[in-house]
Chain A
Amino acid sequence: GDSVTQTEGLVTLTEGLPVMLNCTYQTIYSNPFLFWYVQHLNESPRLLLKSFTDNKRTEHQGFHATLHKSSSSFHLQKSSAQLSDSALYYCAYMGYKLTFGTGTSLLVDP
């Protein structure tokens, strides 16, 4: 079945350093729809990015990701982390339903 893998459970880095959170997926569908959701403490998940176009960079609020069907990846990146970026980040895949990865907790220190 469909699955989403986020290899890092926790990423800790210093403010100003670049961010990269990994996401890979497995699916039988040839046209996957991938999402990144962000969940701040005591809040509900909020859509950050989405893409279904191969090799096209999508950007929002300083974050960007590119769907690469050849490697089944949709890694989330940001050039310079901010303290306010500390949150849980979920990669999700839309097949017949939205399947979430296990999440990566990003902790940005001053």
Chain B
Amino acid sequence: DVKVTQSSRYLVKRTGEKVFLECVQDMDHENMFWYRQDPGLGLRLIYFSYDVKMKEKGDIPEGYSVSREKKERFSLILESASTNQTSMYLCASSDVRTGVEETQYFGPGTRLLVL
């Protein structure tokens, strides 16, 4: 089974802090994604990566950056946390082999509260 793990289930941070959210997948997937999910807004893509050291902006990249130094690990960084970044953060990964490339496997999520 594909396993995507996220470093924390719950996180409380102060405004202005630098926040790191870590995601690790164990299935050698090329693609990795970071989303945030808010009530009434659904899942929105922040950043994705299709290879080590490669990254692309999603729909809402402002205030975030990412790092992918190893294939299995994709980190989301909030440079200076703000209250409007309080949200559920979800990491996902997907394979690139033909026939299975479309399906995304999600981690359990990190619920971040910024005070």
Task: Answer yes or no: are A and B bound together in one complex.
Answer: no
Q: Which residues of A contact B (CB under 8 A)?
A: none
